[in-house]
Structure formats: structure tokens, C-alpha cells
Amino acid sequence: MTQDAGRFTRFPPHPRFIQLETTLACNAACGFCRQKDLEREPARMEERLWRKIISETRGLAITYRPFLQNEPLCDGRLEEVVACIKEDPTARAELNTNGALLGERRARALLELGLDEVRFSIDAFSSAVYEKTRPGIDRDTVYRRVTRFCELAQDHRCLTNVRMI
């Protein structure tokens, strides 16, 4: 319990959001991000652990975000993680991504699984600036993939945001 301006407020009985860092991998080497400097272990969360976290919080209307200091699409198990989350009708699944690895097959699979929200991080309009900002990622490929995802998402209940950070 905390006191705020003379009032007592209660902490919620459980978290509203859970970030699952299932991998430390990233496909970019952005100068503004410290992800490449991380030297934590394990580099990949064991399946039994992320399943345990999701299982123990079923029915609590949690929003799960399978990303933290990573690119979630680097984890080939992402669809499994989203499927596990969406087994709970009260749960939401959200992603932040640079979009470079989101080909049409994966886009369709994630949408069919019921992904609730995707936030694409786009950091430049011109190719020259984009490739300086996000080395190793082709701007035109990202733009095509994000555009296609937005088209596909129109037939699903997936909120899509394209953001500059």
C-alpha cells in the first residue's frame, strides 16, 4: 500500500503486463540500443519457463509482451509463445518489432493466432538515414513487409502502430 496526496492506494493483486524475454537475439546493430552489449545468460529462455509463467497467470487478463532487449521475431518459437498466450481468452499478446523478419508466412500465422497489437519501430524515412540508424536492415524490405502486414491486419482484430522512436 502507498500513500499518494493523503490517499491510500492499493497495488493491483497481480501485474497487468508481463514482458517475456524469450531470446536476447536481435537482427540489427542500432547505435542507440544497448542490446548488443548485453552479456547475460541464458541467451534463450527455456520453453518450460515461459510456459510456466503463462500458465501461472492464466485468467488474470494479462497483456504479454514477448520482447524486451531483443527482436522477438529472432525467436523461431514466437508463434508457439503467442499460441500459448492466446489459449487464455482473457489474455492479450503484443509485440514491438523492427519488422525486418516479418515475412508474409509469419505475418499470417501471428494474425491467425490472434495477435492483439504490433508496434513497428521505424526510425527514418530515407534509405540513407535508415541504414545509418539500423545497420544491417534494408529499409525497402522493412517498408514492404510493414505495408503488407498492415494490409493483412485489416481482416483481423490486430491493432497496428508504425512509430518513429
In a domain, 91, yes or no: yes
**Cell 523492427, residue located:** 98
Query: What pTM does this model have?
Result: 0.88
Is residue 2 in a domain? no
Phi, psi of 107 (to 5 degrees): -60, -50
On whether residue 4 sits in a domain, the answer given is: no
Which residue range forms the structural domain that includes residue 79? Answer: 11-163
Q: What is the pLDDT of residues 94-129, one digit of tens each?
A: 999 999 999 999 999 999 999 999 999 988 888 899
Domain for residue 6, yes or no?
no
Low-confidence ranges of the chain (pLDDT < 70): 1-9, 40, 42, 165
* Number of domains, the chain: 1
Q: Is residue 104 part of a domain?
A: yes
Q: What is the CATH number of the domain that holds 68?
A: 3.20.20.70
